[in-house]
Amino acid sequence: MDKDINRIKVVLAEKKRTNKWLAEQLGKDPATVSKWCTNSCQPTLETLMKIAKLLNVEPGELMRFKDIPEPIA
């Protein structure tokens, strides 16, 4: 399964924004934003909502739902 859960890097590029810009807006370390963009780790839901607002997109546009397995009942 592909581990690319978020699309933050893609949306930043579409909006012509940089990791550094996002880090400054959120008051986060640029290394943290870089980890989100490479999907090494994920932002909290609260942070994801802030990112969506800053980039003027719906939160769902920052997520990649393809290939996420269904829960086992």
Q: What is the pTM of this model?
A: 0.83
The predicted structure's pLDDT at residue 1: 44
Q: For 8-62, which CATH superfamily applies?
A: lambda repressor-like DNA-binding domains (1.10.260.40)
pLDDT of residue 72: 74
Walk along the chain (73 residues) in steps of 10 and give the mean pLDDT of each run: 81 97 98 96 96 97 74 71
Residue 66 is predicted with a pLDDT of 66
User: In this predicted structure, what is the pLDDT of residue 33?
Assistant: 98
Q: Return contacts of 48-54, CB within 8 angstroms, 24+ apart.
A: 48/6, 50/26, 51/8, 51/22, 51/26, 54/22, 54/25, 54/26
> Domain spans of the chain?
8-62
